Structures are given as structure tokens and as C-alpha cells.
Amino acid sequence: MTHDKGCCGSVCQCFFEYATPKILVIRSKKVGTVNRVIQAVIIAYVIGYVCILKRGYQDTDSVISSVTTKVKGIALTNTSDLGLRVWDVADYVIPPQEESSFFVLTNLIITPNQTQSRCPEEIVVRMTLSVVQVPSLNSNCSSDSDCTPGLKDVRGNGVQTGKCVNYSDSVKTCEVLAWCPLEVDRDPPNPPMLADAENFTALIKNNIRYPKFNFNKRNILPHINKTYLTHCIFNATTDPDCPIFSLKYIVSTAQEDFQTMAVHGGVMGIQIRWDCDLDMPANWCKPRYTFRRLDNKDPENNVAPGYNFRFAKYYKTANDVEIRTLIKGFGIRFDVMVFGKAGKFSIVPMLLNIGAGLALLGLVTIVCDWVVLTFMKKRHQYKAEKFSYVDDFGLLSEAAE
């Protein structure tokens, strides 16, 4: 019972205590050095890092951007399927416009003169270094009973008619209704058919806005005129303001070889960064360009490399028969990515950062007290001087006497 009363008394005593700061001046070179060093570090952090390096006195805003592109260039090919042919921008930029990106055709596999007709099913099986055409597992047959009319094999090329026909002298497959002759699927040509694509150029027009500061700008800077645009090509060293880029320069700057990449295709990233200090003149706000390859290029995992898709061009003969030329196109897609942040002086963030710095100075006293009361030889004397206990009720009784 007595123990319980003692605990309750201790709790009540702690509850009704009040602590007030007491100034204790310690004349010590060691403690004084620790005090000034920590103060200097905090002040250097607030002024050097927060205010100067990170511009803690500024309000910030993120960029809003729009991008349009225009590709130019001419390529010449001479193949057995197409003969001598000139390729212009309408042929190799597919589709004509994309959102913040553009695709340039660099290589292709052509299956010409396809018509809606019937032919033996087949499938392409890729071996280690070659491509072999063999019948699909679902299309092997020995008689019509092995074929199912209307069957659609997702890995096949058409709809089965129910007939078993000769695929070759020794093999039979199910007949399909499809675009015949079926696609010739093989490894893409090497070197690429449109090797001249490395000389193509792309004009990138980028408009940016920082709505908080009502600031607008574009990467075609005020000093750029039409005459300049007719002959300039971007170079980070000699011509960093030109908005026209050579495709070969983009790829080579990313440490890639254009001709190698053009065989199977790939994805390149064009990064535009707008970091603007709006306390400075507006002409100091300029874009910075960097380039890198975005798709995976792992030599140990080269399944389905590059970038490709299929499209067709349709015609009609004099007899009103629809035919098409099927193209499996390989190429490089260029994705334009815009990043940026702008800052401008504002009293609110400046006061907040200064207040945070002043609060950090309070740590100096805590650290110095810990050093004094833990490591100093006279720590017990310092503790006795630092902490004093006064009983308020005792003072009142003495005054009454």
C-alpha cells in the first residue's frame, strides 16, 4: 500500500513540475570548438546547399509540353521484288504523325501479289541461324477427314476449308482460305534495304509552358530564322541550338551503330530538358538534348529483337480483282521525352527554408550538452550546475514564517 502511494506521489510530482531554461557558460576550448564547428556546418548547409545550390529561395513549377516532328530524306533501293525504287518521306514514315514520337522504316520483307484465294497452310519455324518453312502442327493431314472446315489456327495464316492438299511432293497440309501466296517470313536483309536512312533528318518542334509563372518558350529560339534552318544540323558542340537532327547522329551519340540497329529496328529516346532559372534573363532558358536507346539489347536474351510490324498496300487489277503487297517493316521509333522545372524568387519558400535552418541550430545545444555530460572529465560538476531543483511549496512556507 505504501509502495502504491509512493508511485502515485512520484507521478503527481512529475506532472506538476515546470522546467525553465538555465544559461550555463562553460569556458572550454573543446566544447567551444565543437559548438562553433557544428554551427558553421549548419549555416554552410543552409546557405550553400539549400539556398544557393538547390535555390531554396524560389518557388518551382513543372513543365507542360507539346512536340511535333517532320522527317526529310530520300532513299534508293534496287530489289527483285520492287525493282529500282525511290523512297520519300511518305513511304518510310509510318504513320505520318504520332504523339511525341516518329517511326522511320529501315528494312522490310516483301510478299507481293497476294489475293484472297486458297492455298496449303504453312508456318515458319526458326532454327538457330536459319529459317525453315514446315507445316503447322494443326495443318498436317493425310486425308480430308483430318481437316476441320472453318477452323482458325491463331498461329496459322487463314481459315481451313476442310480439304487436304499437297504442300510439297512428300507432305500434305490442310487447305486454307487466306491471302495467297502466304507470307514469306525470313530473317530481314543485312545490310538493311533503306541503309540511306542514316542520312535522314528530323525537325523537332517543342513548345513548353510553365503556367504558374505564365512563361512560354519553344526550342526554335528567337535568333533562329528560315535561312539558318535550311543548312543547320544539330551538334552538341558546334551547333547546339539547331532543332534539326541527323538520325545517324542521334543513334551514334547513344553509343549505337545505325546500320546494325537498322536491320531489326529498335527504339531510341530523345530527351529534352528545360531547367530554367526565371530570375535570370529569358534567353538563358534553353533546352538540353540527350539521346539513349530504350529497347532491350541483351546479347544473352535476343528473342524477338528490335521493332517491327506488318502493313499492306492494296490495288485492283483490270479485272477488278483485289491484290495486295504485304510488307513486314523493320525500323527505328524515336520517342521524344520532355522534362523540366522552372524556379522564380518567392518570399514564402525563402522564409520556410530560413526557418528550417534556424531550427537546425537548436541541435547544436543538444549535441554540446551530450558531449559535456558524457565525455568531459568534470561532467558530474557540469551536471550539478546545469540542473537545479526548487520546491515551490517549501518556498511558500518559508515566506509565511
Alpha helices in 1-156 (DSSP H): 2-15, 29-44, 89-92
Distances, alpha carbon 47 to alpha carbons 41, 43, 54, 57, 115, in Å? 10, 6, 10, 10, 75
| Contacting residues for 196 by C-beta, under 8 A, at least 6 apart | 73, 74, 75, 76
The total number of residues shown for the chain amounts to 401
248 is in an annotated binding site: no
Greatest pairwise CA separation for the chain in angstroms = 130
Residues 192 and 263 sit within 8 Å (Cβ to Cβ) = yes
**Residue 34 assigned ligand-binding role:** no
CB 354 within 8 A of CB 128: no
According to the annotation, is 70 in a ligand binding site? yes
- Tell me whether residue 309 is annotated as binding: yes
| Phi then psi dihedrals of residue 297, to 5 deg | -130, 65
Dihedral sign for Cα atoms in the order 190, 191, 197, 198: positive
Q: Is 308 annotated as a binding residue?
A: yes
What angle do the packed helices 379-386 and 347-375 form, to 10 degrees?
Answer: 120
328 assigned to a ligand binding site: yes
Instruction: Determine whether the annotation assigns residue 71 to a binding site.
Output: yes
Query: Which residues are annotated binding-site positions for ATP?
Result: 70-72, 201, 308-310, 328
Query: Which residues are annotated binding-site positions?
Result: 70-72, 201, 308-310, 328
